[in-house]
A and B are shown apart, each in its own frame.
Chain A
Amino acid sequence: MFKEILKDKFAGKALIILIVMYVCIACANFIAPYSKDFSDRNQAYAPPSPVYTITEEGKLSMPYTYNYIRVFEPKLYQNIYTLDRSQKHYLKLFVKGEQYKILGVIPCSIHLFGTDDGGRFYLLGTDINGRDVFSRLLFGGRISLTIGFLALFILFPIGLLYGGISGYLGGWVDIIMMRFAEAVMAIPSFYLLIILASVLPANMTSTQRFALIVIILALIGWAGFARVVRGMVLSIKNEEFVQSAQTIGASKLRVITKHILPQTTSYVIIAMTLSVPSYILSESGLSFLGLGIQQPDASWGNMLKEAQEYINILYRPWLLTPGVLIFIAVLCFNLVGDTVRDILDPKGKVR
């Protein structure tokens, strides 16, 4: 299947971009010049560091940058950053920086790039707490790009089993189960999402919060999926292979899980790839409102929270980068998902 996706002009590129993104967030510790909690309060809202390759004398040089000095401008009543031109800081590859652990065990302090001693290099500027936006984008991506997948891995088994049981047993069970699913669908999903998120107690560790948000996201989507599965089960359950399994004496649960549900595999794969983006968007929307992932943890949504202020969006456009990344990720997932559908379901039976 990968080969077929790669052959497609757009989906191929989209898949490559996605792979690059996931590799980057997997190696976030190594690629990011700073850790996600590194902050320099004197460098709040510093713009991206400029990179020079030609010195002031007009000579070609190794790329270097200057540090920022913060000056308070009484007339404008705000802080202004000027470059400290007294000392050049050369950019280097594989520099020593903060220590981190590879796979949580092996200590290491080599970062992909950085400056020599005393220099600060902010590829995409800093946020209100003087934290490097580029580094936080990588760490935030870890949450934003995985949370949707995790939610799907909870939601799909539930939806499959629920729809399978409902469709196979039929009768009263079916009616009650489906009315319940319809009721869940009748609550506007985003309303339900924010209410569930707001119910979460405030004194949780970030891991607990992450896990609960995954579960909440899963609670939103299962009903619609279960309904479609039920419809498919209804059409499958009278086929001969199901009847033969019943005659052998297989239990109901076995018939459902071993014989009927595997028939829905291609729909499940299509539905999964097509619904990843909506979970990425939900998480970012939730965190954007301050109900999802909380500071000091980074997620693309909560990084965009700062873009709610006019001053920030007008004078500090680098704070908008998380939004661009969400857009790219969702677009790529959509393109790949469309192609997966075309490959697995060329006649367009599943929509």
Chain B
Amino acid sequence: MKLGKFILKRILQTIPLLVIVSIISFFIIRLSPVDPLAELRLNPSISQETLAKEKARLGLDKPIIVQYGLWAKSFVKGDLGITSNGEKVSVKLIERIPNTLILTLIVIFMTWSVGVPLGILGAIYNKTKLDRILTILSSVGMAIPSFFFAILLLIFAVKTGWFPVGGLTSYDFNDMNFLGKFFDIAHHLVLPVTVLFTLSLAGLQRQMRANMLDVLDSDYIKFARAKGLSENKIIFKHALRNAINPMITLLGFEFAGLLSGAALTEYVFQYPGLGRLILEAVMKSDINLVMASLMIGSIMLVLGNLLADILLLITDPRVRG
């Protein structure tokens, strides 16, 4: 029961956070000299009626505080306005969010299942040749600019023809059966996942190694050693559990990093995700879309952190104290 109370408290804490985020992003965008309706006005397919409706919804003739209030009200109601093409922003977002989620979740799953064991290896064989090699590899992985790596992989894809160059689905996607669709998407995901995996693996491996080294240096591990426990038991039963707890907090940050890192990767691979959506919106100065995707990105990030914290509350009783 106590656990439930903590979780509830933690969830309630995110609400003011999101309000501040929305204020910050609203003012950044609204204080810019860009006219939020400029694109709409230039689009001949948008009727005067829609334009007037947008104007009223945003309250552009009123002071900025009132504008924020109006915007926040319609945001909570789920009305995010229309894009410069006249499409509904919410429809566009719902189309893109799952794509970004698939990409990031696969990457997180893969980095954890590879990065954590490699981190443990690095710590156990600290200062040996193996550790040295792992450290160098992770330095290399951290140093490649994501977009440059993506470009290199694109060359590879073009030259060998093994992988599709960009997108998420093939042109005949709709004619495929379920299994065909699944493999088609998987095929398209290989390259973007490779880029993001390489990028985030390095950081994770380092962090895990550092945590593990910390724990291995602690008194209770020395005690366990003195007691004569086998090395396997010490590492997997005592050290690992304590070393992995701080990593759970990191999970939230990793999610944040991936959202950002994915934007460039999505751009190069023409992947229909949230990052590319916001990039295109920014370039077209499509204010409604920028604002909405910024908010959704932040909400996803906050939720990621929230999940990580709750997970930590469950696994680590000390945090509850």
In the assembled complex, the Cα of A188 lies from the Cα of B21 at a distance in Å of 11
- Residues on the A chain within 8 Å of B283, using CB: 198, 290
Cβ of A128 within 8 Å of any chain B Cβ, yes or no, is no
In the assembled complex, the Cα of A185 lies from the Cα of B316 at a distance in Å of 25
Selected contact of B210 from candidates A182, A190, A304, A348, CB within 8 Å: A348
Q: Tell me which residues from 266 to 300 in chain B have a Cβ below 8 Å from any Cβ of chain A.
A: 267-268, 275, 278-279, 282-283, 285, 290, 293-294, 297-298
Closest to A184 in B: B24
- The reply to whether B282 and A198 contact each other, CB–CB distance below 8 Å, is yes
- Residues on the A chain within 8 Å of B139, using CB: 331, 334-335, 338
- The reply to whether A186 and B154 contact each other, CB–CB distance below 8 Å, is no
- The reply to whether A191 and B264 contact each other, CB–CB distance below 8 Å, is no
Contacts A285-B264, A288-B264 given; indicate if A323 touches B145 (C-beta within 8 A): yes
- The reply to whether B148 and A326 contact each other, CB–CB distance below 8 Å, is yes
A285 to chain B, nearest CB (A): 5
- The reply to whether A191 and B263 contact each other, CB–CB distance below 8 Å, is yes
Closest to B146 in A: A285
Contacts A194-B279, A348-B214 given; indicate if A187 touches B25 (C-beta within 8 A): yes
- Residues on the A chain within 8 Å of B147, using CB: 284-285, 288, 304
Q: Tell me which residues from 263 to 309 in chain A have a Cβ below 8 Å from any Cβ of chain B.
A: 277, 281, 284-285, 288-291, 304, 307-308
- The reply to whether A277 and B297 contact each other, CB–CB distance below 8 Å, is no
- Residues on the B chain within 8 Å of A335, using CB: 139
DSSP class of A's interface residues: helix, strand, loop or mixed?
A: helix
1/0 per residue, CB under 8 A from A, across B152-172: the answer is: 101100110000010000000
- The reply to whether B210 and A191 contact each other, CB–CB distance below 8 Å, is no
Cβ of B116 within 8 Å of any chain A Cβ, yes or no, is no
1/0 per residue, CB under 8 A from B, across A169-208: the answer is: 0000000000110111111111110111011010000000
- Residues on the B chain within 8 Å of A284, using CB: 145, 147
- Residues on the B chain within 8 Å of A281, using CB: 145-146
Contacts A308-B151, A327-B145, A348-B210 given; indicate if A195 touches B297 (C-beta within 8 A): no
Cβ of A75 within 8 Å of any chain B Cβ, yes or no, is no
Cβ of A10 within 8 Å of any chain B Cβ, yes or no, is yes
In the assembled complex, the Cα of A66 lies from the Cα of B259 at a distance in Å of 49
Contacts A188-B298, A191-B260 given; indicate if A313 touches B143 (C-beta within 8 A): no
- Residues on the B chain within 8 Å of A59, using CB: none
Cβ of B185 within 8 Å of any chain A Cβ, yes or no, is no
A92 to chain B, nearest CB (A): 34
Closest to B19 in A: A183
Cβ of B144 within 8 Å of any chain A Cβ, yes or no, is yes
A289 to chain B, nearest CB (A): 7
Cβ of A314 within 8 Å of any chain B Cβ, yes or no, is yes
Contacts A179-B16, A183-B17 given; indicate if A190 touches B263 (C-beta within 8 A): yes
In the assembled complex, the Cα of A185 lies from the Cα of B24 at a distance in Å of 11
- Residues on the B chain within 8 Å of A188, using CB: 256, 259-260, 263, 297-298, 301
In the assembled complex, the Cα of A185 lies from the Cα of B274 at a distance in Å of 19
Selected contact of B151 from candidates A183, A198, A313, A330, CB within 8 Å: A313
- The reply to whether B24 and A199 contact each other, CB–CB distance below 8 Å, is no
Cβ of B32 within 8 Å of any chain A Cβ, yes or no, is yes
Most buried by A among B33, B147, B297: B147
Cβ of B38 within 8 Å of any chain A Cβ, yes or no, is no
- Residues on the B chain within 8 Å of A290, using CB: 283
- The reply to whether A190 and B142 contact each other, CB–CB distance below 8 Å, is no
Cβ of B34 within 8 Å of any chain A Cβ, yes or no, is yes
Closest to A290 in B: B283
- The reply to whether A330 and B143 contact each other, CB–CB distance below 8 Å, is yes
Cβ of B302 within 8 Å of any chain A Cβ, yes or no, is yes
In the assembled complex, the Cα of A187 lies from the Cα of B139 at a distance in Å of 27
A75 to chain B, nearest CB (A): 22
- The reply to whether B294 and A195 contact each other, CB–CB distance below 8 Å, is yes
Closest to B294 in A: A191
- The reply to whether A10 and B143 contact each other, CB–CB distance below 8 Å, is no
In the assembled complex, the Cα of A92 lies from the Cα of B181 at a distance in Å of 61
In the assembled complex, the Cα of A20 lies from the Cα of B309 at a distance in Å of 45
- The reply to whether B20 and A179 contact each other, CB–CB distance below 8 Å, is yes
In the assembled complex, 5 residue pairs joining A and B whose CB atoms fall closer than 8 Å, in A order, are A187-B25, A188-B260, A191-B263, A194-B282, A198-B282
Interface residues of A (CB under 8 A from B): 10, 179-180, 182-192, 194-196, 198-199, 201, 277, 281, 284-285, 288-291, 304, 307-308, 310, 313-314, 320, 323, 326-328, 330-331, 334-335, 338, 348, 351
Q: A327-B144, A334-B143, A348-B210 are in contact. List 17 more A-B contacts (CB 8 A).
A: A187-B24, A187-B298, A188-B263, A190-B261, A192-B294, A195-B25, A281-B145, A288-B147, A288-B264, A307-B151, A308-B151, A308-B268, A313-B154, A313-B158, A326-B148, A330-B145, A331-B143
Interface residues of B (CB under 8 A from A): 16-18, 20-21, 24-25, 28-29, 32-34, 135-136, 139-140, 142-148, 151-152, 154-155, 158-159, 165, 207, 210, 213-214, 256, 259-261, 263-264, 267-268, 275, 278-279, 282-283, 285, 290, 293-294, 297-298, 301-302, 305
